[in-house]
């Protein structure tokens, strides 16, 4: 099959591309290599993907360029789209909400239109656990109400889920929305907590800790996320939403302890107030994904953090 993977030069996208290429599929990556973090990191990742045996093509372009996205779909017969490209992160979205709306919502419309007008019937689209907002019920289930987003980023992901349902209902596209829960592992973005903390602890600099360390996240190893993405691409649904998480929470204080143990150094804590848009907990109910996708996360945090640290130490600049 020939897959279009948007955001394929990024953290999760590159792992998905690697899996597809090793499986003998053709992969076209669309990515704008924006400076949210150093584009050189993504270029090195693309070199790694090119080195794999397989049919691989990279197109550097912005999803908001509707005419280019339309041209790409007209000129290439894709069997399926895995749409992972987005402006990511809760805190950065607070500073640039209009940018997040343009890239995440308008960009997704361009991808959906390209598929609709050119006979691509199946799309797997990345959503986020942030859509649950401050959810009093844990673990979070796909059937929970999700109308109380507390960040522009979360609001854009809610909009994408609504668009996916609309394109299924009106145009008959088969669409799977995947709500990712705090993904980590090799190639993780340098702005994310685990990577940022590892860098600061290694150099003896303070790490910013927002709150008292009791906030908890459902940290999910990237290999498990890829398994869920591939399963969603291989199974047939009309429109479905799935949580992809580890279904086990880890507090910020516990995460720091895991990093200290793996790095062999103590962290210097810079205690700061909680930030707007942050939620106290994320916790995935993955029973639906287990039942319908065969999703079965295998990498616990005690194993995943040392794997990440091993990659981090080999790839430090």
Catalytic residue among 132, 153, 219, 295: 153
Q: What's the rounded Cα separation, in Å, for the pair 223 and 55?
A: 22
Helices (H), 26-151: 39-50, 66-75, 90-95, 97-100, 107-117
To which H or E segment does residue 177 belong? strand 174-180
| Contact yes or no for 38/190 (Cβ under 8 A) | yes
- For 139-165, b/e burial (b = at least 16 CB within 10 A) is bbebebebeebbbbbbbbbbbbbebbe
Q: What's the rounded Cα separation, in Å, for the pair 59 and 132?
A: 33
153 is catalytic: yes
**DSSP, residue by residue, 186-206:** TT--TTSHHHHHHHHHHTT-E
| Contact yes or no for 275/211 (Cβ under 8 A) | no
- CA 111 to centroid of chain Cα atoms: 17
Residue 149's nearest CA partner among 176, 191, 179 is 179
Residues belonging to the active site: 153
């Amino acid at each position: 099959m020939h897959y279009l993977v948007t955001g394929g030069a990024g953290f999760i996208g590159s792992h998905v591309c690697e899996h597809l290429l090793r499986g003998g599929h053709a992969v076209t990556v669309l990515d704008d290599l924006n400076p949210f973090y150093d584009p050189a990191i993504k270029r090195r990742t693309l070199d790694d993907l090119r080195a794999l045996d397989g049919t691989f093509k990279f197109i550097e372009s912005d999803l908001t360029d509707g005419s280019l996205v339309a041209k790409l779909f007209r000129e290439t017969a894709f069997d399926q789209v895995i749409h992972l490209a987005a402006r990511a992160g809760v805190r950065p979205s607070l500073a640039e909400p209009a940018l997040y709306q343009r890239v995440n919502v308008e960009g997704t419309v361009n991808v959906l239109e390209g598929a609709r007008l050119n006979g691509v019937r199946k799309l797997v689209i990345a959503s986020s656990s942030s859509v649950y907002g401050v959810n009093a019920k844990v673990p979070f289930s796909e059937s929970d109400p999700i109308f109380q987003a507390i960040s522009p980023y979360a609001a854009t992901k809610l909009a994408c889920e609504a668009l996916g349902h609309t394109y299924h209902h009106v145009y008959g596209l088969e669409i799977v929305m995947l709500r990712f829960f705090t993904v980590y592992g090799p190639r993780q973005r340098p702005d994310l907590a685990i990577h940022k903390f590892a860098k600061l602890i290694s150099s003896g600099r303070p790490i910013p800790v927002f709150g008292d360390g009791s906030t908890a996240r459902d940290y999910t190893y990237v290999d498990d996320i890829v398994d869920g993405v591939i399963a969603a691409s291989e199974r047939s649904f009309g429109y479905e939403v799935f949580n992809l998480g580890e279904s086990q929470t880890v507090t910020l204080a516990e995460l720091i302890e895991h990093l200290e143990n793996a790095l062999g150094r103590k962290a210097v804590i810079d205690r700061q107030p909680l930030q707007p848009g942050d939620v106290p907990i994320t916790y995935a109910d993955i029973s639906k994904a287990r039942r319908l996708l065969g999703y079965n996360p295998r990498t616990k945090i005690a194993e995943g953090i040392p794997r990440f640290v091993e990659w981090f130490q080999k790839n430090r600049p």
